[in-house]
């Protein structure tokens, strides 16, 4: 069991009053992440605005703003476009699946999905985010090393 720690956040969005609290406890228990929840797409976007999560799991059929609309809003904003998105739906029609892919979901799972599959998808998503962060950090460090004044400072030290 890989431990991501409380610094990692997973956002769960689902309007089912039974499923959401159970998933919250499950994800929290098995990944040790901080789990944030929302009952519809609008509330979900508010949570994202408060703090950018490392992974989002979203239902499709929800009041106010459904999963596809949520995904579109998320992908439309450069600040949130890279967050891994798992769509979790009770709809089984193929056209729904295509709609999910078109709006840019990374993973598309149909309820009921075995809990371990969902957890595995979340872990993969969190790992991706971590790698992306690391890569960005490295490129930042590299670009700062290449800066001329930096080089000059280094040269000054060695001479």
16-75: contacts with other proteins (CB under 8 A): 16, 18-19, 21-23, 25-26, 28-30, 32, 61-63
Q: Does 90 bind other proteins (CB under 8 A)?
A: yes
Backbone φ, ψ for residue 97 (5° rounding) = -65, -45
In the bound state with other proteins, the residue whose beta carbon lies nearer, of 39 and 81, is 39
Of the candidates 62, 61, 81, which has an alpha carbon nearest to the alpha carbon of residue 71?
Answer: 81
Question: Which CB, 20 or 127, lies closer to other proteins?
Answer: 20
Give the 3-state DSSP-derived string for 85-100, with helices as H, strands as E and coil as C. Answer: EEEEECCCCHHHHHHH
Q: What share of the chain is helix, strand, coil (3-state, %, to 5)?
A: 55, 15, 30
Q: How far apart are alpha carbons 157 and 146 in whole angstroms?
A: 16
- Interface residue with other proteins, options 2, 5, 7, 92 (CB under 8 A): 92
Q: How far is the CB of 151 from other proteins (least distance, A)?
A: 50
Question: Tokens 């993973």 map to which residue?
Answer: 107
Interface region with other proteins, contact rule CB under 8 A, candidates 11-19, 77-85, 131-139, 147-155: 11-19
List contacts with other proteins (CB under 8 A).
Answer: 15-16, 18-19, 21-23, 25-26, 28-30, 32, 61-63, 90-92, 110-116, 118
């Amino acid at each position: 069991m890989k431990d991501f720690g409380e610094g990692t956040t997973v956002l769960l969005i689902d309007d089912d009053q039974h499923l959401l609290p159970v998933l919250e406890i499950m994800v929290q228990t098995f990944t040790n992440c901080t789990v944030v929840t929302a009952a519809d797409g609008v509330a979900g976007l508010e949570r994202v605005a408060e703090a950018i999560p490392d992974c989002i799991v979203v239902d499709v059929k929800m009041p106010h703003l459904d999963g596809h609309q949520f995904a579109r809003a998320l992908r439309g904003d450069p600040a949130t476009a890279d967050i891994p998105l798992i769509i979790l739906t009770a709809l089984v029609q193929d056209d729904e699946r295509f709609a999910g892919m078109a709006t840019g979901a990374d993973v598309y799972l149909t309820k009921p999905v075995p809990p371990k599959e969902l957890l595995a998808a979340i872990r993969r998503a969190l790992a991706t985010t971590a790698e992306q962060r690391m890569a960005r950090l490295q490129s930042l460090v590299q670009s700062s090393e290449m800066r001329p004044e930096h080089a000059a400072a280094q040269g000054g030290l060695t001479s």
